[in-house]
Amino acid sequence: MTRDGQPLAVAGSAWLDHEWSSQYMEKDAVGWDWIGINLDDGAALMAFRMRDRAGATFWAGGALRRADRSVRVFSPQDVRFTPRREWRSARTGASYPVSWVVNAGELEFEIEPLFDDQEHDTRASTGTIYWEGAVRALRAGKRVGVGYLELTGYWRRLEL
């Protein structure tokens, strides 16, 4: 960053959300639930699940980068997303499970959106409607991190 042509030091935090690759989903999958959490202790969790037509987990996985930079990769059996509360969009009629309990191995987090209405209507560009937004991670009601949650395939099957 510069000011009046001179370098300016800045400090703070930022979030980079970039999908590095897209592939066609398995024909039996309809969408995914994905979360990335920066934990207050310096660790970071990424977890996801692909859903089938009945809403059950078709595939899951994730990883924990601990504060010491060591990494634990989670198998599909280690990752569970359990919905706690839904929000329904007045604009599109789609319902999204915006509040979750996410388990990754022995870790368990309550996930709450900063606000419910974070729906994106991208029919004019990518052709779909999905929910993606800022969340906080809690344990026993106390904040332990912040992050991002993405929910696709709730309006209709996601077509890539």
Q: Does a structural domain hold residue 89?
A: yes
Measuring CA to CA, how many Å separate 142 from each of 55, 90, 97, 121, 160? 29, 30, 21, 32, 37
Domain of 104, in residue numbers: 27-151
CA–CA gap between residue 137 and residue 43 (Å, rounded): 12
SS3 letters across 97-128:
EEEEEEEECCEEEEEEECCCCCEEECCCCCCC
Inside any domain, residue 159: no
Q: Is there a domain that residue 156 lies in?
A: no
Domain count, the chain: 1
Average pLDDT value for the chain: 91
Residue 7 lies in a domain: no
DSSP 73-86: EEPGGGEEEEEEEE
Beta-bridge partners for 94 = none
What residue type is assigned to position 54 of the chain?
Answer: A
Burial category of 83 from C-beta neighbours within 10 Å (exposed 0-12, middle 13-18, buried 19 and up) = middle
19 falls within a domain: no
CATH code of residue 92:
2.40.370.10
In a domain, 8, yes or no: no
Residue 18 lies in a domain: no
Q: How many CA atoms lie within 13 A of 147 on its CB side?
A: 25
How much is the pLDDT for 160? Answer: 62
Q: Is the pLDDT higher at 71 or at 125? A: 71
pLDDT in tens, 52-108: 989 899 899 999 999 999 999 999 999 999 999 999 999 999 999 999 999 999 999
Q: Is residue 158, in this structure, part of any structural domain at all?
A: no
Q: Which phi and psi (to 5°) does residue 104 adopt? A: -135, 105
What does the alpha-carbon distance between residue 35 and residue 128 come to, in Å, rounded to a whole number? 19
